[in-house]
Structure formats: C-alpha cells, structure tokens
Amino acid sequence: MALSISLATQIGALFLLVIVGYVLVKTGILKASDASILSKLVLYMCAPAAIIIAFQIELTPSHMQGFLLALVAAIGVHILYFGVVGLLDHFLHYNAMEQASMIYSNCGNLILPLVTLVLGQKMVFYASGYMMVQIILLWTHCKTIMSGDAHFEIRHILLNVNMVAIALGIILCIAHIHLPTMLYSALNSAQSPMGPLSMLVVGMLLSEMHMKEAFTNKRVYIISFFRLIFLPALFLAIIVLCHINKLFVGADKVLMISLLAASGPSASTVTQFASIYHNEEKEASLINAMTVIFCLFTMPLLNMVYSLAVGL
C-alpha cells in the first residue's frame, strides 16, 4: 500500500511539471517546437544513461530470475494484448493506428522515471526487459501495420539508442566491469532530469492541442479505456489468479514494474509513425495526449489494486 501511495505522490508531482510545461508555452517563454529538443535530450541522453547505470550491479541468481520474469511478462502482455485487441476488432472496427495505440505503451519516457522515483534506480534493470520486447515489436509489427508495408530493417532495432544502452549494460554486467567513478557520476547526472524533462515535454505538446476537440472525441475515450484500464486489468487479474507474484522473493516488485509499463499511455512512437506514414496523425496525437492525462489517475488506481491483491 505504501508503494501505491508513493506512486500516486510521484505521479502527482510529475503532473505539476506537465502544468509548468503548458504554462511556459502559453506565456511565450518557450515555443511548442522547443519540445523536440527536450525530447531528444530524454531519448539520447537521459534514458540510455539510466539504463546503463541500472546494469551496474553484481549479477546474482535473483537478478537473473527477475530479468527473465520481466522478459517473459513483457512477451505475455503483448500476446494477451494482441489476442484481446484482435477479438475487439469485431465490435470496435478500429483502424491500424487505434490498434497500435491500444497495444503499445510509452514505457520509456514515463515508466523509467516512475520506476526510478518509486522503486529506485536499480529497478530500471527490470524495466529494460519490457523495453527490449516492445522495441522489437514497435519496429516490426507496429511499423508494418502503420505503414502497410511488411518490410522492415533490422538495423532500426539493433541501432535503437535504448537497445544499444541495454546491450552495453548487459555486456558490462556480465563482464563484471564497473564504470570509473567519474563516468558513473556523469551518467548519473545525465539521467537525473529524465522525469522532469519528460513531463515538461508533455505539457508543451498539450499546449498545441485543441482541448475541446480532444475531450469531445468519443473514439478517444474508447481507445483510452482499453489502453489504460481494460487491458492492464486483465494482466493484473492473470498475475493474481495464477499466483505469478509468488514465483520467488521479489517477483511481486518485478511484476509491478511490468504492470506499470503495461498500463502506461499510448506509445509516442505510434504518433511518430502516424506522422511519417500519414496515417490518422491528428487522432494519434489526440489519443497520445489524452492517455497521458488519464493515466495520471488510472495508473495509481491499478497499482493500488495490485498492491492490495498481492500484499505489497
């Protein structure tokens, strides 16, 4: 219960930074276009630094168990989401962009800061397992349905900055190579502003949205419900009913990270693909923005239910 309260507090704090980003643009201090610069800082500096630092641990059997569970949970979540979203298509008749928005979450910019703030920097080690699986699927399945072209390039997966950071982190961890104090300190400083910068970007992007249109779009509410509540609740139910959280000591916290990643807002990569392939760009932006707003309430609620169910 204490963890869910901590999560709600941290999400509330991050939400205040969303407001700051919104106000900075509306008052003319910053421009909405400046958000792309901050986004690049998060993507190419903060997130890779956080991942590499997270792998600076003494690799133990319990760490291996947790990482493997995170990988299996990520694969399981996506199989579940693929199946359920496929069934829902018979009733909702959604397009490719809506399908991708329901399946893929923003497990980088939002989840990594939350995991760091609530559970500690070392727990990012387990969050990277979910990221590995999703990055591969984003550049294969998601790109295919958004572009209508089954061809994809493996280099986009291998050269993804977070995949490179994960690979480097794994090599350093397995080889028992500890970074020099100066380099570790530099990386630690680089990853520190990830949460604030990510939320400022969200606020700055929201300043460009036509909020009346967003809040009156019924389709956005439907997609948001399945993305933020229905699908994550199914995953939560499977964890509890199958007692997966009792597999080993610490499994409950690893699965909490998986649940956070599975219940996040729609992936910003979906919005980027929508823009690149001219596939429902406007609706993609609306869904991305609204799921960010709604997740500030749904994520703490789901986490509270999970904490009560597993006794955290």
* Phi, psi (deg, nearest 5) at residue 56: -85, 65
Q: Contact, 42 vs 197, CB < 8 A?
A: yes
- Residues with Cβ within 8 Å of 305's Cβ and at least 6 positions away in sequence, in order, are 236
Q: Which residues pair with 266 in a beta bridge?
A: 105
Residues of the chain scoring pLDDT < 50: none
In the prediction, which pLDDT does 205 show?
A: 78
Distance CA 103, CA 115 (A): 21
Please write the tens of the pLDDT for every residue from 15-59. 888 899 999 999 999 998 888 888 888 888 888 898 898 889 888
Task: Convert 42-52 to b/e letters by CB count within 10 Å (16 or more is b).
Answer: bbebbbbbbbb
Q: Contact, 74 vs 132, CB < 8 A?
A: yes
Distance CA 8, CA 296 (A): 8
Task: Convert 272-290 to b/e letters by CB count within 10 Å (16 or more is b).
Answer: ebbeebebbbebbbbbbbb
In the prediction, which pLDDT does 124 show?
A: 86
In the prediction, which pLDDT does 1 show?
A: 62
Q: Contact, 146 vs 280, CB < 8 A?
A: no
CA distances to 5, 12, 204, 289 from 209, rounded to whole Å, are 31, 21, 10, 8
Q: Residue 18: enclosing H or E segment and its boundaries? A: helix 2-26
In the prediction, which pLDDT does 243 show?
A: 93
**CATH code for 2-310?**
1.20.1530
